Structure 1
């Protein structure tokens, strides 16, 4: 890896930055985006030979240390303190409110903070977290302060305040207060480079540390009940450790909590399920009482509790001693929009889940058939020119619809009866073994400490629309159409097709999934 200092002039200002010549033009543009606020798609970076292309490797351009490049593009300066006061929901007209609530708001990049923005947007995908945060004491009621002595409880309160403002404001927010608190609670996020600028950080580390702080704070605030993290996001393993060198060593069994599943990526990993299976079995070295020395042990894990929200971490970064950086594994690994984890479960839990899972799939097929029947009926009525004929066709379609309604009602009852009583009582657990993908944190670039992070969120059915409901129901009419997704590129929020998410399976330096957020399938 070769890193050199460069300068870039844009809109009369000069920006200094360090560039890894092994990276591509796309990565450099994202660095410039963090500095200037100009979207990479709108940047024109002038280099020898013309305009810099996204796929161009920088070491082919003959760049010299301290060389100055020119960039053209619509200026978007780094954020300043807002000059206008916040606009709150109660101050909006009906028309303004409708427009404001149509698109979720983004978070302003405060200089290499895309890792934080993507993590915060991902956590906000889970509405139960906001509910739990709202129960915390008011800000300032603990010993921590914003500019000294900050504690995890302060971070949780800052997040509560940030989400409240995101709900009430109509334009992109600057998470400055939360960022300052994060850097005081976890100083690694305050690391600066040679030129005094804050460094890019690993989004997975930020996501994990924030969750840890939230869990501490919410547990302390309500010690008699499990926190959101413990109940909605935590699963449990049954563990068995056996000695690989002698059968005389008795197995060691135990339990272990987990807040995420890891997908290990090797040369044989092609699918998410492959990596998850590998993560549940590993070889470790420990002392054997029978052999009287250190020996190889095999640790096997099986899931005994599935949470409502399942976080999957692609282990795409590894530490390279020669570059002293966390480099990226570019291998393509396919992941599903619906994840079945029953094969990862301990036998007793698997038995409870499989019957429900199969009946849920039968229920989905029946609901899908009802959608198709309704579409066929509408087509017949539309094509019919005679009202009498239309009435005849409608009367023919009615028995079919009634039969499907009866079938669906029967299957819904069977699904409800098939759910294990213990799982019914645990409202924050997954009782089907099925998950749907609702969020993705992606990374583009070669290393965790460079490049760009974004968050992608599946759009929810709208209450009142055909197939829409407060909770997502598999097989509902709305879900038969290809879902749309929100793209959170810092302060810019746009709509993309689901086919864009399919491209994030890796295989290059462009956007690849780093964290997958799955939610338990409803019925």
Structure 2
């Protein structure tokens, strides 16, 4: 069955040959036209299709007669004009003449990767992509991904779409439109294809999108994904009535932070989430019994994803509600206390070396210079393990935030750390320079953007 055709679309004096995926929606097709013509999606009207009616956003392109029209050499007609910017009342001759805030915004495009176009309540997906792009190891592993056995469908198609989207972000000089990524995401996970009463795509939960992408990557690149994001967890439970124990090992891809009235810092929320009580089959009693205990980290990943569990289902309103409580988080996170005794023992040498290096840094520089003068060869010794030993410390590299009262409404943005230590807020198409202080202010406690997902990079020595 044909899935793609090319058809001419006449817009004004120009005609564009447009590649159409027949499995996509009318809104996705309009998004592709937006990228070609720079006409905002809401202004685009497409006519010339089967039935004579303008193309609806929720239309199935396979039912619009596009294939037959293309075969007969017919063209579609697109109406709509690009927005024109009003001429400024007063021209500014030099960038330095702008106020500081406007000057920062004008400089935002310099040294910043491009933003992603919002294709109708898709800020949740844009934010996930920008945070994941900050993971250098993921960019590298996807760069070498050749596709699975079914590259046109399933998890292989979405992995390929993400790989290609990363490639577009790397090379583009202007805003990138994630049309194909969103189209494949919606095909593989239909929950993200839901539309509202007016045919507009519905807002979705960014954490659910993150989990869907992570599941996809773990299916297609299991070893790389486990190394990059997989958190080894060991759950040890005990039944007080029978003294039976249960030990379970698993791999998780998010480190949960539960929020209660007592939680003021993420580490307090981690402790609550790691405690566990459940009913399990007791061999002694021959019936279910209560087992209690906790989970601990048994293996560390290169990148630790933490989720602040801010949303829960509220029965009386039959919708997700949001916990607005302020919960602070650190720029550098130490997870040593949450590790198993075996992992702590593995971390100890690197932690001691880290502390020693920090304590002796000034003296060490002096000694190194002195040693180099006395014996230049002494500086050529290279530690073969340098940069491979986990310390238990993680440095914040991205934050995904939410503004609003419900996970399925409001607005998501991402905050990403650059190599030089500065921060950028990606509000869909717009990159905005930010500071570390701006990021730490994302703790919550009101209607401002507040942290929902935090991504930390392992500090190795």
Scaled by the length of structure 1, the TM-score of the pair is 0.63
Q: 1:231 aligns to what?
A: 227
Farther-moved stretch of structure 1 (128-137 vs 484-493): 128-137
> Does 2:114 correspond to 1:105?
yes
**C-alpha offsets along residues 176-210 of structure 1, whole Å, 9 cap, x if unaligned?**
11101100000000011111111000001101101
Aligned runs of 1:78-93 on 2, under 5 Å? Answer: none
- Contact 2:108–2:432 (CA<8 Å) still a contact in 1? no
- Counterpart Cα distance in 2 of 1:522 and 1:293: 47
Instruction: Look up the SS of the partner of 2:263 in the other structure.
Output: coil
Q: 1:499 to 1:329 in 2, by over 3 A?
A: same
Query: Residue 399 of structure 2: which of 431, 440, 445 is its match?
Result: 440
> Does 2:299 correspond to 1:299?
no
- Counterpart Cα distance in 2 of 1:343 and 1:516: 19
Q: 1:497 to 1:242 in 2, by over 3 A?
A: same
**CA apart distance, 1:239:** 2.0
**CA apart distance, 1:302:** 1.6
- Counterpart Cα distance in 1 of 2:431 and 2:460: 28
Q: 1:155 aligns to what?
A: 158
**CA apart distance, 1:232:** 1.4
Q: 2:201 aligns to what?
A: 198
**CA apart distance, 1:445:** 0.5
Query: Residue 504 of structure 1: which of 408, 419, 442 is its match?
Result: 442
Q: 1:497 to 1:257 in 2, by over 3 A?
A: same
Farther-moved stretch of structure 1 (289-298 vs 326-335): 289-298
- Counterpart Cα distance in 2 of 1:273 and 1:167: 35
**CA apart distance, 1:354:** 3.2
**C-alpha offsets along residues 405-442 of structure 1, whole Å, 9 cap, x if unaligned?**
5799xxxx9xx98xxx9xx6995xx6101111111000
Farther-moved stretch of structure 1 (278-287 vs 350-359): 350-359
Q: 1:485 to 1:402 in 2, by over 3 A?
A: same
**C-alpha offsets along residues 245-302 of structure 1, whole Å, 9 cap, x if unaligned?**
x1x3421123111111000111111111111111111111222222333221113212
Instruction: Look up the SS of the partner of 1:450 in the other structure.
Output: coil
**CA apart distance, 1:319:** 0.5
Query: Residue 242 of structure 1: which of 234, 238, 242 is its match?
Result: 238
**CA apart distance, 1:356:** 2.1
Q: 1:376 aligns to what?
A: none
Which structure 1 segments of 5+ residues have no match? 1-33, 38-73, 78-97, 220-225, 371-399, 462-482
* RMSD, aligned CA: 3.0
Which structure 2 segments of 5+ residues have no match? 1-39, 44-81, 86-106, 373-378
- Contact 2:165–2:178 (CA<8 Å) still a contact in 1? yes
> Does 2:127 correspond to 1:118?
yes
- Counterpart Cα distance in 2 of 1:330 and 1:260: 21
- Contact 2:387–2:460 (CA<8 Å) still a contact in 1? no
Query: Residue 335 of structure 2: which of 338, 341, 355 is its match?
Result: 341
Q: 1:485 aligns to what?
A: 423
- Counterpart Cα distance in 1 of 2:336 and 2:393: 8
**C-alpha offsets along residues 108-128 of structure 1, whole Å, 9 cap, x if unaligned?**
100100000000011111122
Q: 1:352 to 1:144 in 2, by over 3 A?
A: closer
- Counterpart Cα distance in 2 of 1:303 and 1:459: 28
Q: 1:94 aligns to what?
A: none
Q: 1:402 aligns to what?
A: 366
> Does 2:454 correspond to 1:516?
yes
Scaled by the length of structure 2, the TM-score of the pair is 0.71
Instruction: Look up the SS of the partner of 1:510 in the other structure.
Output: coil
Aligned runs of 1:319-468 on 2, under 5 Å? Answer: 319-367=313-361, 369=362, 402-403=366-367, 427=388, 431-461=390-420
